[in-house]
Amino acid sequence: MRLRNPFVMESGVFTTNYRDDMAFHFPVLAKIRVAVILLLLFLLPFFASTYFVSIANLAGIAVIGALGLNILTGFTGQISIGQGAFLGVGAYTAGFITAKLGLPFWLALPAAGFVTALVGAVFGVPSLRLKGLYLAIATLAAQVIIEFVIVHWETVTNGVHGMFLPAPGIFGYALDSDVSYYYLVLTACIIMTVFCFNLFRSRVGRAFIAIRDRDLAAEVMGIDLFRYKIYAFALSSFYVGIAGALWGHYLRIISPEHFTIGVSIQYLAMVIIGGLGSVMGSIYGAVFITLLPIVLRELSGLLANYLPNIEAVILGLKEAVFGITIIVFLIYEPEGLAKIWQNIKDYFKLWPFSY
């Protein structure tokens, strides 16, 4: 019988094999694929129309917001329907700093992240006691309270009149076109996606998932549930705050109706359709939900040639399509687009012997 003491570590033996083992283990083909996608993303403005770039900007901002919501809801299991309001906190914080204080955007952007993180942490406190539906209602309260504050704190937010924001500049370079803004959004997206990937293969990310899967066992492992739930709320809100700041400065005008519960539900749709607890899923879901109304509009425009009244019908159906899509995903593929994509890849791995 071979006996090994699991607690004795041989000193002086430094193997690198675990590190290699733990690096992102991309086969060459996958590496090439990532490189090609990144290259295409960087070159996109050169071959796409301005209209398309503007859609890409919205999608990219949604990706950051969806990553934030997924950190909290998908990975840590804490549902939130205050996303819309938290976007507002980010947008108004950044707007206040640039428009009212006249300070530079590169300062406003992280500040929006941190302020939203703080607000998110405060509204995360009930999560120690509340779960599921009850927590959902507590975060709904956050949504209502923050919306109220945005409308009524007029010295800071201009209330219902909204606020005009200057075009952001970075190091004297004004990001006032769709294309220049695209590179800002793309950079932020890449950094925040990589950060997310790393987080969930290291200590804190694992603790988040543990809390989602089995909070009792997590506690017995020495994870302080309260502290880590607050961390999740804060980090999630940091992402959402950044997304809000980017959104506000892209729209250049923000008002309370941009940050309603409807927006919260849209983001929930993104993470549900994309895949709860999946980084790539956040991206797929954000792109999907951003494109959905646009595709519908294009479709109705196309059909209008043949059926003159179809446009009104389809646009009226927009909300319904939205709801139906969520329900279909919940029933048929609760793991979302990320899972569907995985299935497709698995299928072609075995191809042509896939049966």
Partner 1 sequence: MQLDLDRVSLHFGGVTALSEVSIQVKKGEIFAIIGPNGAGKTSLLNCISGLYRPSSGRIVFEGKDITHMSTHQRPLLGIARSFQNIELFSHMTVLENLMLGRHIKMKSGIVSGGLYWGKAQREEVMHREVVEDIIDFLEIENIRRKKVGTLAYGLQKRVELGRALALEPSLLLLDEPMAGMNSEEKEDMARFILDIAEEKGTTIILIEHDMGVVMDISDRVAVLDFGRKIAEGSPEEIQCNPKVIEAYLGEQVS
Residues that bind partner 1 (CB under 8 A): 1, 3-9, 15, 18-19, 21-22, 195-196, 198-199, 201-207, 209-210, 213-214, 216-225, 231, 235, 277
Question: Strands 173-174 and 163-164, how do they pair?
Answer: unpaired
Residue 78: count other Cβ atoms within 10 Å of its Cβ: 24
CA 66 – CA 166 distance, rounded (Å): 25
Question: 250, 313, 303, 231: which is closest to 90 by C-alpha?
Answer: 250
CB of 25 to partner 1, least distance (A): 11
φ/ψ (deg, to 5) at 253: -140, 130
CB of 197 to partner 1, least distance (A): 9
CB of 316 to partner 1, least distance (A): 40
Nearer to partner 1, 52 or 200 (CB): 200
Axis crossing angle, helix 28-47 with helix 50-69, rounded to the nearest 10: 130
3-state secondary structure of 254: strand
Nearer to partner 1, 88 or 241 (CB): 241
CB of 113 to partner 1, least distance (A): 12
Nearer to partner 1, 5 or 155 (CB): 5
- Between the CA of residue 192 and those of 67, 175, 303, 345, what are the distances in Å? 8, 20, 39, 25
Nearer to partner 1, 13 or 320 (CB): 13
Nearer to partner 1, 13 or 331 (CB): 13
Q: DSSP states of 30-61 as a string?
A: HHHHHHHHHHHHHHHHHHS-HHHHHHHHHHHH
Nearer to partner 1, 202 or 343 (CB): 202
CB of 131 to partner 1, least distance (A): 17
CB of 351 to partner 1, least distance (A): 24
**Encoded tokens for 346:** 């698995």
**Encoded tokens for 119:** 């607000």
**Encoded tokens for 93:** 């914080």
